[in-house]
Amino acid sequence: MKKRIIGVLILAFCLLTFNTASNATATPNEKSVEQITIVLDSAWEKFGMFGYQIIETDSTISMGIDKKINKVKLREYLNENLPEEAKEKYEIDIFQKDINILKREHRLESLN
């Protein structure tokens, strides 16, 4: 009985140690994407963006904004706040359309 308890405790300790170590070692890419997401979420709140995507395969950050939003100020904000490696790695694509068109396109995409 004591051997089983000791065995279970050792197994639990090993699993807990392995799980903690694997969570603590996030890849540099995951950290970079997390930093980018924080900046984009902040821009979302500040400028009222409709949506954004980080597209790894094309190295693009794509954002949809209402045509009433100042695109130049948004780009300045992103240049000031995005990490340098993100500005080097990703092309920033900001497209402006009427908000109703953006909403309609979003509904059509979500149906597919």
Query: How confident is the model over 15-44, as pLDDT tens digits?
Result: 666 665 444 555 556 777 889 999 999 998
Cα-atom radius of gyration of the chain, to the nearest Å? 22
The overall average pLDDT reported for the chain is 79
Instruction: Look at the block and give the residue holding tokens 């045509």.
Output: 67
Query: Are 36 and 82 spatial neighbours (Cβ–Cβ below 8 Å)?
Result: yes
Query: pLDDT tens for residues 60-100?
Result: 999 888 888 889 999 999 999 999 988 999 999 998 888 78
| CATH architecture of the domain covering 27-111 | 2-Layer Sandwich (3.30)
Give the residue extent of every domain in the chain.
27-111
CA-to-CA distance for 4 and 10, rounded, in angstroms? 10
